[in-house]
A = this chain, B = another copy of it.
Amino acid sequence: MNKIKKWNQALLVGLMAATLAACGGTEEKGTAKAEQKVDVIHWKMVTTWPKNLPGMGTGAEALAKNIKEMSNGRLDIKVYAAGELVPALEVFDAVSRGTAQMGHGSAYYWKGKVAAAQFFSTVPFGFNAQEFNAWIAYGGGLELWEDIYAPFNLIPMVAGNAGVQMGGWFNKEINSLEDFKGLKMRMPGLGGEVLKKVGASPINLPGSEVFTALQTGTIDATEWVGPYNDLAFGLYKAAKYYYYPGWHEPGSAVEVIFNKDAFAALPKDLQAIARAAVKQANLDMINEFTARNNDALQTLVNEHNVILKPFPRDLLEALKKASAETLEEVAANDPNSQKVYESFKNFMAPVSEWHDVSERAYINARADD
């Protein structure tokens, strides 16, 4: 949950006045337009992000803008940053009851309410972005997600992905699994559960306290996102070892939720527009993170003298084993989680096999080492 607080504490909380103008002012030469009396549908989209948070907040704004353009102004969606209309953690409920027609966030925020939801953001040693999207579209993922959200009067869709994240910031070198014993690391959620199993001490801190805690030694390490966001957050000033890969979040998906009644009331063309715009947003976001992360990484390494290191192999093996155990436990405690976990495993095994001979074999062949 602290993930949200961390976003709230992030850089760009300055408010931008909502600039979505009411429809009707645009000049169009479309043949149909001239004879058309447009009824504008006004919607609200509540989000879990600070205004214009790079990638996530900006993605929500772009989504609304694209839907407006595609609908020729007929579907006009005002975007609210976390706290503007409802607090971040109330986005799910607000859309469920229709206070807003759309929400933009990430599914694992709702795990207290819907345990299985966390499978629809990212899980330790789970899917990367490409695999997650394929599971949703062709592996039965979307149908399960829809079933699980249906009792809440919600329709979920994938609206973005931040890709493989970084392993985190450490104030000492990690040379083996032994160095994780007793390590105080800030990590919420499933990753924290996994840490416990390998002997570390996961600490759950709000984002606002992370920097100081790391700088003063209250914690030894923290996870965050990836270079694009981490650079902006300034963590390189508090710890100099930057480890990879982000085993705990290998493909963090962003979700859009629609109030089911509101969506059903849309004309079919606007429904199709909304669906396509969300897919466009999904592709746009991973493109942005893929393109932007390395620039930030170079700045961290070359200008801020961050030491970039891979986790040792024995540690990764232990984390992998502990991750599988953690997922088994989550599944055992909740029938919906069990169903989703089965689907996850049924897609993970074959897609991993395929990616071993395609993506993995290729990316290893391409590398110089």
Contact = CB atoms under 8 A, between A and B. Distances in A.
A197 interface: no
A1 interface: no
B288 A138 contact: yes
A29 interface: yes
Contacts of A347: 291
B354 A293 contact: yes
Interface string A223-266: 00011000000000000000011110010000000000000001
A338 interface: no
Interface stretch (A36-44, A169-177, A183-191): A36-44
A69 B71 CA distance: 12
A362 B246 contact: yes
Interface in A150-168: 163-166
A357 B276 contact: no
A289 to B, nearest CB: 8
A20 interface: no
Contact of A30 (B30, B268, B361): B268
A182 to B, nearest CB: 23
A16 interface: no
Contacts of A320: 365-366
A129 B270 CA distance: 29
B32 A37 contact: yes
B284 A283 contact: no
A288 B292 CA distance: 27
Nearest to A138: B291
A30 B269 contact: yes
A311 interface: yes
A226 B71 CA distance: 38
Contact of A245 (B38, B227, B358): B358
Given A138-B291, A267-B31, A367 B352 contact: yes
Nearest to A316: B365
Contacts of A273: 70, 273, 276
A311 B74 CA distance: 55
B353 A294 contact: yes
23 contacts: A26-B268, A28-B268, A30-B268, A31-B41, A33-B267, A130-B130, A131-B290, A134-B290, A137-B291, A164-B358, A164-B362, A244-B361, A245-B362, A250-B362, A273-B276, A291-B351, A293-B358, A294-B353, A297-B354, A297-B357, A298-B350, A352-B367, A359-B363
Interface of A: 26, 28-33, 35-39, 41, 66, 69-72, 74, 125, 128-131, 133-139, 163-166, 226-227, 244-247, 250, 266-270, 272-273, 275-277, 279-280, 282-284, 286-288, 290-295, 297-298, 308, 310-311, 316, 320, 347, 350-367
